[in-house]
């Protein structure tokens, strides 16, 4: 059976026009198509395209599938680090990138208790916590890769690193023995991956099309 692509497109357009939500559908299709176009342009152009622009402008916007990334020349790092919170906010950026409102609820946007905990209690005790993190990382590697002398093996890098990071971080947050519990680690890693998936999907749509 031969399918006429033009007729198929026209049929889809007719269905959209007849729908009471035609405007929303059209906007969603446009936003999705624009996101794919921007992502493909980034993939095909590569970093050389953006490096070339550094010769003309100090800041450039790089398109991604879900949002835009602002690249700033290295000579402005000190200036950016001194910018006040009301001009360059790490909290606001994290809220937008990870879409905390949709992933965790409005409380995560309004209550910043965990930021203060990380900046104060955790940061001040990093040197004391480092031996435990190192011990857990070594144990995680040895438990996943068991080799005798002169042996080699192949591992899938991404899930391998995920497990090591999950165990090392949770050694600090929840301690032994929970940081080595496989069910707990599955929940932690699954939550992290789901957060990224939801944020990527939500960021593909403008604010007025989000729930």
pLDDT in tens, 192-211: 898 888 888 888 777 777 77
Q: Could you tell me the end-to-end alpha-carbon distance of the chain, in angstroms, rounded to an integer? A: 41
CA distances from 34 to 22, 39, 63, 67 (A): 18, 9, 10, 11
DSSP tag of 4: -
CA dihedral 37, 41, 42, 43 (to 10 degrees): 100
As a whole-number percent, the residues of the chain with pLDDT over 70 amount to 71
| 88 vs 105: CA distance, rounded Å | 23
68: left (phi over 0), alpha (psi -120 to 50) or beta: beta
Neighbours of 49 (CB within 10 A): 13
Which range is least confidently modeled, 99-103, 144-148, 182-186?
144-148
pLDDT in tens, 84-115: 888 888 888 888 888 888 888 888 788 877 77
Q: Which helix (H) or strand (E) holds 61?
A: strand 59-63
Q: Rounded to the nearest 5°, which phi and psi values hold at 156?
A: -85, 115
| 43 vs 48: CA distance, rounded Å | 11
Q: What is the mean pLDDT of residues 122-131?
A: 86
- What pLDDT score was predicted for residue 42? 59
pLDDT in tens, 39-52: 666 566 666 666 67
Is the pTM for the entire model greater than 0.85?
no
Q: What is the mean pLDDT of residues 73-79?
A: 81
Maximal CA-CA distance, the chain: 70
CA dihedral 114, 119, 120, 125 (to 10 degrees): 110
Is the pLDDT at 29 greater than 90? The verdict is no
Q: What is the DSSP string of 106-149?
A: HHHHH--HHHHHIIIIIHHTHHHHHHHHHHHHHHHHHHH----T
Mean pLDDT of the chain: 77
């Amino acid at each position: 059976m031969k399918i006429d692509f033009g007729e198929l497109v026209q049929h889809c357009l007719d269905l959209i026009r007849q729908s009471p939500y035609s405007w929303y559908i059209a906007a969603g299709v446009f936003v999705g198509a624009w996101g794919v176009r921007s992502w493909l342009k980034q993939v095909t152009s590569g970093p050389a395209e953006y490096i070339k622009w550094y010769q003309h402008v100090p800041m450039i916007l790089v398109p991604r599938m879900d949002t835009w990334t602002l690249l700033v020349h290295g000579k402005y790092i000190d200036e950016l680090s001194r910018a006040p919170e009301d001009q360059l906010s790490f909290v606001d950026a994290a809220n937008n990138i990870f879409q905390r409102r949709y992933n965790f609820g409005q409380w995560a946007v309004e209550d910043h208790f965990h930021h203060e905990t990380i900046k104060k209690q955790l940061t001040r005790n990093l040197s004391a916590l480092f031996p435990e993190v190192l011990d857990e990382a070594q144990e995680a590697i040895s438990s996943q890769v068991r080799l005798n002398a002169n042996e080699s093996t192949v591992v899938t890098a991404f899930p391998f690193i995920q497990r090591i990071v999950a165990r090392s971080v949770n050694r600090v947050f929840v301690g032994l023995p929970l940081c080595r519990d496989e069910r707990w680690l599955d929940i932690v890693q699954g939550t992290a991956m789901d957060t990224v998936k939801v944020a990527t999907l939500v960021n593909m749509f403008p604010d007025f099309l989000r729930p």
